Amino acid sequence: MNRYLIIIVLFLMFIIEGTWFQYFLADRFMIEFQWVPRFVLVLIIYIGLFHGRLTGVIYALAFGILYDVVYGPFLGVYTFSFGLISYILCWPLYIVRRNVSLNIVAATIAVLFIEYFVYLINDVLGLAMLSHEAFIYERLLPTIGINFVFAVMISYPWRKLLEEIRKRMNPQES
Amino acid sequence: MPPFFSNKRLIVLLVCIVILVGLIGYSMSERRSMTWPEQFIVDSVGWVQSVFSQPAHMVAGFFDTIEDIRNVYEENQALKAQLDDYATVSVEVDELRRQNDQLKESLDITESLYDASYRSAAVINRSPDRWNEFIGINKGAQNGIEEDMSVITSEGLVGKVARVSQFTSTVQLLTDQDRANRISAMASEDDSVYGFIEGIDEDTGYLHFTKIETDMEVEEGMTVVTSGLGGVFPRGLEIGEVIGVKDDEFGLTQSAYVEPAANFHHLDYVMVVERESQSLEPDIDPDLGDDDE
């Protein structure tokens, strides 16, 4: 039952990124800097760390497909990059899971990787009209900032929920 | 610990990259309409998005109302000043319209580039990674929306329909940097100056109005509208106002900066414009010829 809660939270976050965030934050305060919300990715990295690599990659692929179909002009970009980064980062180790700051660092690295990957794809295809320097200052740093803040804010309730579900799924471990 | 990338994983990764490149190539191919699984996903997500965006529009509208109230006195003064002219202008318009109808009737003209019909739609999403300037609207093929229809707000042109699903569609804004995103436009005072609108300048936020003949006079303050010559948009949709003019890099044409009339940051409701006049006779339209093969 609780696994459905995870899916619902992820889906709500996916919807909010495209609707509420764009109306209230992006359109009013995003004239000079571009803050790109990658909240779903942050949540998925936590899931991967707590519930194992395979679960994380499955969620990443599912939501990557959603991003590609709903928003992107290019299919496959988000599916590939979400899947790859969650596979690389989600070490199923007790130490990583235990340490809050390592969780947050992993989520931030994931955001950094995704931003760079999508920038490179757009650059190769000639759609990115941003120089590399402008990209870093106007886009990458604000994006990492806002997603870092989100990762910190969400860490306590989200980790607690994931831990609860993990214990229920394999009760012999604890 | 096993090595990070074993042979098997490396092969899987390479296969994934090949699939990725293939998919990107497939989605870049010209005139691709959405397949039914895509339409299904986009429509189901779009339904949830329209539920979410309604309260958002209401709250955003509330903020706008507060801003309006602050400016109400100055606006009132300006409007009062314009109202004096209104009576004379409206009489003149009526007179001209009647005259125009009579003249058209006598010449047997039934359709013009200005003819268009309008459908209103609400904005339900905007792509969160701002690499492309796409917005989603809550009307689709079932409501009669087709690809390449132009999209306006009350202020001016904002873009054209890029992808159509059954109940939602995606609009490509004028500010998108896609190379195919160009619009035949004209600036007019005494005689018309034709050119193309080609994307936006990232730093200033002005649209590029290019390919203007060198001997034409373009001045600041001229209003730029769609020309209707591209066969896609109707004539006379407002795009913006000329801010500055410069010569092109080779000196063969001029280009101008145009301040867009519509506000691309605040899109709540838009109107989709359907051009009524046919662009080409069906038997000489090359696109229809391709379908027959």
Interface membership of B103 toward A (CB under 8 Å): no
Whole-number pLDDT of residue B181: 72
Query: pLDDT-based confidence at A62, cuts 50/70/90?
Result: very high
Query: Which range in A13-27, B12-26, B51-65, B223-237 is most confidently predicted, on average pLDDT?
Result: B12-26
- Count up the domains in chain B and report the number: 1
DSSP states along B159-227: EEEEEE-SS-EEEEETT---TT-EEEEEEESSSEEEEEEEEE-TTT-PEEEEEEETTS---TTPEEEE-
Whole-number pLDDT of residue A63: 92
What tokens were used for B55?
Answer: 């309260």
User: pLDDT tens across A88-118, in order?
Assistant: 888 767 777 788 888 898 899 999 999 999 8
Instruction: Tell if the CB–CB gap between A19 and B177 is shorter than 8 Å.
Output: no
Interface membership of A90 toward B (CB under 8 Å): no
The distance of Cα A16 from the centroid of its chain, to the nearest Å, equals 14
Q: Which of A34-38, B2-6, B59-63, B245-249 has the lowest mean pLDDT?
A: B2-6
- Residue that is written with structure tokens 């910190």 in the block: A152
Between CA A107 and CA B79 the distance in angstroms is: 54
The whole-angstrom distance between A15's CA and the closest CA on chain B is 6
pLDDT at B61 over 50: yes
**Structural domain contains residue B117:** no
Question: Rg (Cα) of chain A, in Å, rounded?
Answer: 16
By Cβ distance, the residue of A18, A31, A125 closest to B49 is: A18
Instruction: Tell if the CB–CB gap between B126 and A22 is shorter than 8 Å.
Output: yes
Task: Find residues 5-34 of chain A whose CB sits inside 8 Å of chain B.
Answer: 11, 15-24, 26-28, 30-31, 34
User: pLDDT tens across B112-133, in order?
Assistant: 767 778 888 888 888 887 777 8
Whole-number pLDDT of residue A174: 46
CB atoms near residue B230 (< 10 Å) = 15
**Structural domain contains residue B161:** no
Between CA B43 and CA B169 the distance in angstroms is: 9
B16 three-class SS: helix
Stretch A132-141: mean pLDDT, rounded?
Answer: 84
Tell whether ipTM is more than 0.90: no
Whole-number pLDDT of residue B275: 77
By Cβ distance, the residue of A36, A130, A134 closest to B129 is: A36
Domain span including residue B208:
182-260
Whole-number pLDDT of residue A21: 79
Whole-number pLDDT of residue A111: 92
pLDDT at A34 over 50: yes
Whole-number pLDDT of residue B290: 46
Query: Which range in A11-25, A85-99, B20-34, B84-98 is most confidently predicted, on average pLDDT?
Result: B84-98
Instruction: Indicate the DSSP class of residue A174.
Output: -
Query: A106 or B179: which carries more pLDDT confidence?
Result: A106
Stretch B54-73: mean pLDDT, rounded?
Answer: 82
The whole-angstrom distance between A7's CA and the closest CA on chain B is 14
Whole-number pLDDT of residue B2: 55
Please identify, in words, the CATH class of the domain defined by A38-166. mainly alpha
Helix spans in A22-170 (H): 27-29, 39-51, 53-70, 77-89, 94-98, 100-124, 132-134, 141-169
Residues of A in contact with B23 (CB under 8 A): 74-76
What tokens were used for A70?
Answer: 């709903």
What tokens were used for B36?
Answer: 């039914």
Q: Is B10 left (phi over 0), alpha (psi -120 to 50) or beta?
A: alpha
The whole-angstrom distance between B230's CA and the closest CA on chain A is 23
| 3-class SS letters over B68-96 | HHHCHHHHHHHHHHHHHHHHHHHHHHHHH
Residues of A in contact with B124 (CB under 8 A): 19
Please state the domain extents for chain A.
Answer: 38-166
Interface membership of B130 toward A (CB under 8 Å): yes
Q: Which residue, A89, A18, A125, is CA-closest to B179? A: A125
By Cβ distance, the residue of B23, B131, B134 closest to A128 is: B131
By Cβ distance, the residue of B57, B128, B178 closest to A71 is: B128
Stretch B245-263: mean pLDDT, rounded?
Answer: 81
Instruction: Tell if the CB–CB gap between A36 and B16 is shorter than 8 Å.
Output: no
The whole-angstrom distance between B104's CA and the closest CA on chain A is 44
Stretch B132-155: mean pLDDT, rounded?
Answer: 86
**Structural domain contains residue B186:** yes
Interface membership of B18 toward A (CB under 8 Å): no
Query: pLDDT-based confidence at B98, cuts 50/70/90?
Result: very high
Q: Which residue, B139, B87, B107, is CA-closest to B269? A: B139
Average per-residue pLDDT for chain B:
80
User: pLDDT tens across B8-27, in order?
Assistant: 888 888 998 999 888 888 88
- What is the helix (H) or strand (E) element at residue B238, kind and residue range? strand B238-247
Whole-number pLDDT of residue B291: 44
Between A and B, how many CB-CB pairs are < 8 A?
114
**Structural domain contains residue B26:** no
CB B156 within 8 A of CB B238: yes
pLDDT at B255 over 90: no
Stretch B210-221: mean pLDDT, rounded?
Answer: 78
Instruction: Tell if the CB–CB gap between B41 and A70 is shorter than 8 Å.
Output: yes
pLDDT at B3 over 70: no
Task: Find residues 216-275 of chain B whose CB sits inside 8 Å of chain A.
Answer: 265-266
CB B217 within 8 A of CB B236: no
Instruction: Tell if the CB–CB gap between A75 and B26 is shorter than 8 Å.
Output: yes
pLDDT at B62 over 50: yes
pLDDT at B148 over 90: no
Residues of A in contact with B45 (CB under 8 A): 15, 66, 70
Whole-number pLDDT of residue A25: 66
Query: pLDDT-based confidence at B199, cuts 50/70/90?
Result: confident
Interface membership of B16 toward A (CB under 8 Å): yes
Stretch B32-45: mean pLDDT, rounded?
Answer: 84
pLDDT at B293 over 70: no
Query: pLDDT-based confidence at A125, cuts 50/70/90?
Result: confident
Interface membership of A118 toward B (CB under 8 Å): yes
**Between the CA atoms of A3, A9, A10 and A16, what dihedral angle is there, to the nearest 10 degrees?**
170
- Give the CATH number for residue B188: 2.40.10.350
Residues of A in contact with B20 (CB under 8 A): 76-77, 80
Interface membership of A155 toward B (CB under 8 Å): no
pLDDT at A30 over 60: no
Which residue of chain A has the CA closest to B176?
A127
What tokens were used for A113?
Answer: 């990787």
**Structural domain contains residue B189:** yes
Whole-number pLDDT of residue B292: 42
